[in-house]
Amino acid sequence: MTPKQISARTRNEWVTAYGFLLPNIAGLLVFVFIPIIYAFYVSLHDWNALSPKVYSGLSNYRELLVDDQWWSSIRKTLLFSAVYVPLLFGLSLLSALMLHGIRGRSTGIVRTMFLMPFAITSVISAIIGMFMMDPRNGVINRLIEYAGGRGQEFLASTSQALFSIIGVILWINIGYNMIIFLSAIKEIPRDYYEAAGIDGATGWKSFRFITLPLLKETSTFILIVTTIGSFQALDQILVMTKGGPMNSTEVSVLYIFKQGFDLLNMGYASALAFALFLIIFCLSLFQLKLLSSNKQG
């Protein structure tokens, strides 16, 4: 179709469509793509954020390859993600299924209760978590002792601190992901379940062969987004433990933060940040390809 053949109405539709897209495109350029390019540029320099940049080539990248503390933070991040993502996915889906089965006015109340933690800022949620998991006077330890158990160290323990933080972040985000799952479940036609019931399908079979397959697009979105989020977890960790005790909760983003803002190694921190971006990007592509192949299969 030549430009002359394009009607004025079509041109107006294009202009309107791109007009609506323009703010999002501008936001991506300003807050995503330009910072990524600038971070790569800074990573090629030695810079303490005060003096002029000194070009150093790939020296920062050679340094991170032999930085044991960096690779230790990557391992902690992978552990965090391996625990957090499946738990968030499973608990959110389970909560959505339970809420979908509730009828009446109580549905709105339960939904609000699930969403309330998500409305709390990350710093406040971290402080609440610290009070609840205090080894001496925390609510959780009081309940454990009341039930006849032994109080736990939680954030003061090198083996429990990371999992305690995971628990707080789960508490915050379950409600949001539950609402996404719930919206997708409500879009599934009731006819499918009625037909399955006629054929004698039980609740589990209906879930396995109807609900779960029809939630694949939503599941793919949630898995990728929560995986990316797990690699970017910082606020709660910074407030609750600052990477301690004994660096047991020093994940990769926190290590980058310390290099950049505590030690003022901006060039090295930028190299670490760009390396983490590549890891997240490759992992997201792998997840997308894997889940897409399963969907086709």
**Both tokens of residue 248?**
């047991």
Phi and psi angles of residue 163, each rounded to the nearest 5 degrees, phi first: -70, -30
Neighbour count for residue 212 (Cβ, 10 Å): 12
Mean pLDDT value across residues 14-43: 89
DSSP label at residue 195: H
What pTM was estimated for this model as a whole?
0.88
Tell me the percentage of the chain whose pLDDT exceeds 90.
56
Q: Check if the beta carbon of residue 170 is closer than 8 Å to that of residue 84.
A: yes
pLDDT band at 231 (very low <50, low <70, confident <90, very high): very high
Which domains, and CATH codes, for the chain?
A: 68-296 (1.10.3720.10)
What does the angle CA 231 – CA 153 – CA 176 come to, to the nearest 5 degrees?
40
For the stretch 55-95, pLDDT in tens is 999 999 999 999 999 999 999 999 999 999 999 999 999 99
Comparing CA positions, the residue from 125, 209, 219 lying closest to residue 177 is 219
Cα gap 150→233, rounded to integer Å: 30
pLDDT reported for residue 296: 54
